[in-house]
Amino acid sequence: MSYDQIDVPEDGEQITLVDEETGELNVPETPIIPIIYGDGIGSDVGPAAQKVLDAAAEATGRSIAWMRLYAGGSAREKYDENLPQETVDAIREHRVAIKGPLTTPVGAGFRSLNVALRKKLDLYANVRPTYHLDGVPSPVKNPSAMDMITFRENTEDVYAGIEWEAGTDEVQEVKEFVEDEMGFDNTIHDGPVGIGVKPITEFGSKRLIREAIDYAIANDRPTVTLVHKGNIMKFTEGAFRDWGYEVAEEEYGEDVLTEDELWEEYDGEQPEGTVVVQDRIADNMLQQILTRTDEYDVIATMNLNGDYMSDAAGAQIGGLGIAPGANFGHGRCLAEPVHGSAPKYAGEDKVNPTAMILSGREMLDYLGWSDAADLVRDAVEQTISEGTVTYDLHRQIEGGEKLATSEFAEAVVDKIDELA
């Protein structure tokens, strides 16, 4: 495929899909992998991650042909638009990509490019693993109790972007419809109001929950917890919970139990090899991940809960500089760190590239390069546990050596060479 403004590397080959059902990929030895550095600190953490991923690929007998793509500020310069069609097409075509953060100014007239990208490619599962690396300072006593993976629905909920601004004719029309036609009088206060819609569909919920259960089965994780606020939002978040139990009961046979079945049939003793599907109310869950951290494995939740929860969980294992993520759907993977563009630190070669590097690790895993993925994790962990860290971790540990973003990446590359 040729593009007007994107250079396709000559030395790489395109990843293709082998099986639509399973999402199985055919990955050449030198795949073309698109990368978007993104805004703000993206130009610091992007190249740092690239170096580390190159080193891990090389150490395991492969290589990556990077293809630079543009979105956000860099795209405005090159294409005079925020999210060029070429960028979306190139990710769709090449299937596996990695991106840094993109800035979303607060307020009217600017929709999140991250949300737009996920929606355009229908990357419906945002997967955020939270595990502790040795040596990473944490505000909790036992950070290694955290080993959780959050499957966050990525395409609906209040993030769907169906909302109307106060003072517009549209919002007035919606308000009148809700009050007059649907009978909710005396519910919305008088005066200016903004209104949003929260769609939660059976289709969107079930396909996300299936991904979470499949992951738990494939990775020997004992529980999947559906996190919702269904006690208040009965027909949206409550429906998510109900559809979750429906999937578990109707599609997985004996290998997947509900919490009730576990008690009724097994007296609470979980048989080996089974997955228990349970549910928790979101506010309680935010407490539980602090107080009963080791009881949770795989989480399946909606868009907003997932965003809050994975950031809070991320804080327990060292904060935003560490927390990785990736978006999946239709045999495609777009890896991206949980953190944003932290504009205050942009271009200073200062922030922690670990979240971007570990997002790259998710991507390597998806390619089936688990040896390279493990190498990345081990090298990052050992580099940090030796006290060679960026400013955010350095200020929380005794001693140690404070490194710039690029120096930290070099240290991880050296460690990869040592371990390989």
CB of 8 to ligand NAD, least distance (A): 25
- Residue closer to ligand NAD by CB (options 257, 357) is 357
- Residue closer to ligand NAD by CB (options 274, 310) is 310
Active-site residue, 283 included: yes
Q: For residue 335, which phi and psi values (nearest 5 degrees)?
A: -80, 145
Among candidate residues 37, 70, 131, 159, the one labeled active-site is: 159
203: tokens are 């289709």
- Residue closer to ligand NAD by CB (options 25, 355) is 355
Contacts to ligand NAD from residues 70-129, by CB under 6 A: 101-104, 114
Contacts to ligand NAD from residues 308-367, by CB under 6 A: 320-321, 336, 339-342, 344, 351-352, 355
Active-site residue, 307 included: yes
CB of 114 to ligand NAD, least distance (A): 4
Nearest-CB residue to ligand NAD? 340
Under the binding rule (CB under 6 A), the answer on residue 292 touching ligand NAD is no
Among candidate residues 297, 307, 349, 392, the one labeled active-site is: 307
- Residue closer to ligand NAD by CB (options 114, 278) is 114
Active-site residue, 70 included: no
Under the binding rule (CB under 6 A), the answer on residue 416 touching ligand NAD is no
Under the binding rule (CB under 6 A), the answer on residue 55 touching ligand NAD is no
Among candidate residues 283, 294, 344, 417, the one labeled active-site is: 283
Choose which of 211, 297, 349, 392 interacts with ligand NAD (CB under 6 A): 392
Active-site residue, 159 included: yes
Which active-site residues does the annotation give?
Answer: 159, 229, 283, 307
Question: Which positions lie near ligand NAD, rule CB under 6 A?
Answer: 41, 45, 101-104, 114, 320-321, 336, 339-342, 344, 351-352, 355, 392
